[in-house]
Every structure is written in structure tokens, then in C-alpha cells.
Amino acid sequence: MSFKTKNFLITGGAGYIGSHVANLLLDKGHKVTIIDNLITGNKKLVPKRAKLYVNDIADKKEVSKILMEQKFDIIMHFAGLISVEESLKKPKKYMTFNYEKAKKFIKICLNYNLNKIIFSSSASVYGNINKIASEKNELKPINPYAKSKKKFENFLISLSKNKKIKFVILRYFNVAGADANKRCGSTNSSSKNLIKLVCEAALNRKKKIILNGDNYKTPDGSPIRDFIHVTDLAEMHYISSKFIFDNKKSQIFNCGYGKGTSVKKVISSMEKIIKRKIPIVIGPRRKNDIVFSVSNVSKFNKFFKWKPKNNSITKILINALAWEKFLKKF
């Protein structure tokens, strides 16, 4: 079977990142089946060319039915809960969804010899290291969300050592932006994602932006993040899926641009786009907030000689703003 005709099983494909990856895979000529319980996902984000099963990934009976219906070549696992703030209030819920259910799902898949997986992990597993993070860094997660990601990573690594699976773990930094053709984007109205909040302020849906502190030990006093455009991240998934078929060894890669942008810089960049000031109010710092989170992406670049297409905070903001405008019609 050539790579042009791979059959992908995507969990969480009705979500923000999963839907972008699903669209890219379909654009490349692959087959896509999605399992999503739609708790946080949105059915409208699912491409019409993909097949959707509204199921829990830990439902052995239903998942087994799907796996018996057709032969899949690879799993892309996005399903899970993503709010750090919620995880602090409900740590057991996050361990259940992000680790226990995911673990059960993989075990079901192994019964059908489906043993290749791309896993969407997070830079949060590094913790508050305040330096550029490479894949060799010790993992020091500081919240239940990050701990659940680390635990599932360790599960995959243990299976790989026993030669039961082959994986690529992708550790995302700050994912932002939207599909330029407005096929998909973030639909989470309660999201506290900085880019979404800045877009809402730019559209006068919010009167002001509250900065959680401006006295961090950074050049402008605000936290620094490594923002990556979601379509570039989708491309990294596609490249990783090709790699997993061509190479024997599992790998872990950071997903970012390797450059930091401060919160204040994001706001000022949007102000240049809309040609007016956005009101800012300084609030208290959040407990355990990470000051500096920037990726070392030299490993991915060395393996694949990859160059991102949207490596610009301005482009990220323009696409995100266009999506937010479109969202009322969506």
C-alpha cells in the first residue's frame, strides 16, 4: 500500500486541532475516520469527507465494532480534556479522560493489530523550566493536565520498549490561528486562550483584556510563549505519520517555532492590524503560571528539514480574527 492511500483513525477529530489535521489528510488523498464523543468537539468541524462515530474511546464494544468494519493503518490520538484551570479543580477527571480512557483505547486497538500512533502531547510536561525546552529536558509537570499527558507518554514508551507499538509523540507549544479557508477553527466560546481573547477584543465583543500580572522577569513584564499556527502543526502531524511507516524507532518531537512572543507583543501586534488600541487591565498573577515557554525545534528540523509556512504572529492573528468574524455564521 502506498502512503497515498493510508487509512487514518482519528480520536477527537471534531476538535480544534484534530479537525485541521483531518482536513489536511483528506486533502492529501487519505481516508479518515473520526471517533469523538462531542463533549468538547463540534460536529460542524468534522469534514464531510470523513466518517464520524459519536462514541467514547473507552467503549470496548463500540470501538471494536469500528475496528472490525475496516482495517486502519494508524491512529492519531487527540481526544482528551485540555483546560489547565479545570484540571486544578478536577484532577481525577483529567486522569480518567486523558490517561485511563486513552490507555483502554490503545489496548482495544492492539487487539486488532493497530499499533502505530501519533499522540498529541503538550509542552506543559516540561513544567516551569524558564528556558528553551528540548526533548532531552527532564519532565516536571506542575498541574493535573500536564501530569495526565506525561503519564500517557510513559505508557506509550513502555509499550514501545516491549515492541508492541510504534509512536511519535508531539509536544505542542501554544497552538493558535485557523484554517485560511475557514473550514475549521476554535469554537470554544468559554476558552481563555490569549489569541481568542485578543480577537474578541479586536471585534469589540470584549471591552478589555485582563493581563494576569505584568511583573514577570521578562523584557516587558509579561509571560513569553512560543505560538505555532495550527496549519503548520497539522503539517507536522502529516510528516510524522509518513515517518512512522518508514522508520523503526519511535520518536518524540517538540512542535513550535523556537521563538518567543510576549503577551504584550501579541496585543500590540493585533493593535497594528486593527489600527486602534485595545484596553488592558492588569490583574493578579495566576498560581503556577509558566513565565517562559519556548521550544527547541532543532530535532524536528534536523530529521525533516522542515520549514513552516505561517511563522508569523501577524499571520496567526489575521487568520484567527477572520475565523472569529466568520464564527457567527458557522
Tell me the pLDDT of the chain (330 aa) as tens digits: 457 789 999 999 999 999 999 999 999 999 999 999 999 999 999 999 999 999 999 999 999 999 999 999 999 999 999 999 899 999 999 999 999 999 999 999 999 999 999 999 999 999 988 899 999 999 999 999 999 999 999 999 999 998 899 999 999 999 999 999 999 999 987 778 899 999 999 999 999 999 999 999 999 999 999 999 999 999 999 999 999 998 889 999 999 999 999 999 999 999 999 999 999 999 999 877 889 999 999 999 999 999 999 999 999 999 999 999 999 887
CA distance 141 to 120: 16
Any idea of the CA torsion for 36, 40, 45, 51, to the nearest 10 degrees?
Answer: 10
3-state DSSP of the chain: CCHHHCEEEEECCCCHHHHHHHHHHHHCCCEEEEECCCCCCCHHHCCCCCEEECCCCCCHHHHHHHHHHCCCCEEEECCCCCCHHHHHHCHHHHHHHHHHHHHHHHHHHHCCCCCEEEEEEEHHHHCCCCCCECCCCCCCCCCHHHHHHHHHHHHHHHHHHCCCCEEEEEEECEEECCCCCCCCCCCCCCCCCHHHHHHHHHCCCCCCEEEECCCCCCCCCCCEECEEEHHHHHHHHHHHHHHHHHCCCCEEEEECCCCCEEHHHHHHHHHHHHCCCCCEEEECCCCCCCCEECECCHHHHHHHCCCCCCCCHHHHHHHHHHHHHHHHHC
pLDDT at 2: 52
277 C-beta neighbours (distance < 10 Å), count:
9
Q: CA-CA distance, 10 to 75, in Å (whole number)?
A: 6
Burial of 295 (C-beta count, 10 Å sphere; 0-12/13-18/19+)? buried
Amino acid at 64: S
Cell digits of residue 221: 513584564
Instruction: Please give the Cα distance from 203 to 25 (Å, whole number).
Output: 32
**Domains of the chain with bracketed CATH:** 3-176+227-255 (3.40.50.720), 194-225+258-293+312-329 (3.90.25.10)
d(CA 182, CA 178): 7
Measured in whole angstroms, the distance separating CA 238 from the mean position of its chain's CA atoms is: 14
Q: Find cell 464494544 and name the residue.
A: 61
Pairwise CA distance, residues 14 & 18, whole Å = 6
Sign of CA dihedral 94, 95, 100, 105: positive
Closest among 57, 45, 66 to 11, alpha carbons compared: 57
Enzyme catalytic residues: 145
